[in-house]
Amino acid sequence: MKYVGSKSRIAKHIVPIIQSYIDKTDANFYLEPFIGGGANVIDKISCKRKIGYDINHYLIELFKHLDMIDELPDDISKQEYSDVRKSWQDQDGKYPDWYIGAVGFLASYNGKFFGGRAGTVRTKIGTIRNYYDEAKRNLLAQIPNLSGIEFDEFDYQQLDMSKFKGGVIYCDIPYKNTTGYQQTFNHDEFWAWAKQCSRDNIVLVSEQASPDGWKSIWSKPVKRTLDNASRIDIMEQLYIFDK
């Protein structure tokens, strides 16, 4: 599933690294406190307990109703997209939250929640692409690998970390100085939290840079799409606290 900051393109590189820490420590859980709409890492991880949290209510509702994805319409018209977005903005209860999540993510350009409708277009080479249909089919194909994951709505700062010890935590946070979260994200507070969690767990963080005390264990230059007109070059890195 496409999503802003999705790790689908680099999952093949970082999943083996994450899995190696799970295997060698015999981790009793794997947690992603910033699951994101892609869920493109957790679906490839093998662990006795897998947990996906996120602060975005509509995203989590979508993941909690994966059994409804096959019943989504074949197309989301401009009018339908507009109506659902207005219902979300007005909070009028016209549509169920999982459906708002489905339209907001699957039918939006690059998976940015109501960031502009992505429908059927003719590409530069003359082919026809239906971005919504692609996103829907990708999620349907992903569903078997999402079975058994504990999805829930949480702000990472509100987690009771006394209940999470002896596991591996992977954090795909909104990158600093890029298009980010549904609200302002305090990076300094996050890194302090991640350092504290590292006392009892293996904590791995995706970012482009880190504060002192963290070391990069993997990196790769990639292009990130921001919208239909702009792309930027970034250096994806995976960090671990250097205890």
Domains in the chain, ordered, with CATH? 1-55+154-243 (3.40.50.150), 56-143 (no CATH)
| pLDDT the model gives residue 231 | 66
Confidence of residue 123 (pLDDT cuts 50, 70, 90): confident
Q: What percent of the chain has pLDDT over 90?
A: 77
| pLDDT the model gives residue 177 | 74
Confidence of residue 233 (pLDDT cuts 50, 70, 90): confident
Task: Give the 3-state DSSP-derived string for the chain, with helices as H, strands as E and coil as C.
Answer: CCCCCCCCCCHHHHHHHHHHHHHHHCCCCEEECCCCCCCCCHHHCCCCCEEEEECCHHHHHHHHCHHHHHHCCCCCCHHHHHHHHHHHHHCCCCCCHHHHHHHHHHCEHHHCCCCCECCEEECCCCCEEEHHHHHHHHHHHHHHHHCCCEEEECCHHHCCHHHCCCCEEEEECCCCCCCCCCCCCCHHHHHHHHHHHCCCCEEEEEECCCCCCEEEEEEEEEEEEEECCEEEEEEEEEEEECC
Average pLDDT (176-200) is 84
> pLDDT tens for residues 20-48?
999 999 999 999 999 986 678 999 999 99
| pLDDT the model gives residue 47 | 98
pLDDT of 181 > 60? The answer is no
pLDDT of 176 > 50? The answer is yes
Confidence of residue 124 (pLDDT cuts 50, 70, 90): confident
> pLDDT tens for residues 80-121?
999 999 999 999 999 999 999 999 999 998 888 999 998 888
Among 6-20, 96-110, 194-208, whose mean pLDDT is lowest? 6-20
| pLDDT the model gives residue 180 | 46
> pLDDT tens for residues 62-76?
999 999 999 999 999
| pLDDT the model gives residue 6 | 56
| pLDDT the model gives residue 84 | 98
| pLDDT the model gives residue 121 | 84
| pLDDT the model gives residue 163 | 96
Average pLDDT score over the chain: 91
